[in-house]
Structure 1
Amino acid sequence: MRILYVVDTHIHADHISAGRALAEATGAEYVMFEGAEAGFPFRRAKDGEVLELGNVTATVMHTPGHTPEHLSLLVTDRTRSPEPWFVLTGHTLMVGDLG
């Protein structure tokens, strides 16, 4: 299996990301929301942009709140259904809480 994208949902001092190192090691694109203010290169994903992953798609959703550039990914597996299957919210929605 080939890794195509490494996505960080946000930049924030509450975590250390190995995303850039993983992207470099695998040749994947390092992705963050277009509004992220970072001093390093990354693919600037726009709200509504679709990341293609074979039979699966991940639609970028700008979900500011925890941080201004936060994004979530709406995942659709076309082998299951044309409707979205789940959403990856990073640090926006948590069990019993919001970021």
Structure 2
Amino acid sequence: MTRTPSCWFGVIAVTNAMLPLLRRSPAPRIVNVSSGAASLALASDPANPMATMLPASAAYTPSKAALNSLTVQYANELRNDVFLINAVAPE
């Protein structure tokens, strides 16, 4: 049985639940916490420690890459609104 990461659904559920309130704000912001592990360039570089962490980080790296993609999708969807939408890597 394949398990779908619930973290993606959590981000979608919370973001969608907050959109009505955010739309009433004069300066709405969405900030998703990402990671350098989401970088496909870094993950494919054999000299990078992240590339050698698999399979221990097999779920973490793609889930953060998916979060970045989701952030871009929200930015595209809300492009004509006054939203600022970003992903930040606090490293």
Same fold (TM over 0.5): no
In terms of fraction of residues, the more helix-rich structure is: 2
- TM-score, length basis structure 2: 0.30
- TM-score, length basis structure 1: 0.28
Considering Cα pairs closer than 8 Å and 6+ residues apart, tell me whether 1 or 2 has the greater RCO: 2
In terms of fraction of residues, the more strand-rich structure is: 1
Larger Rg: 2
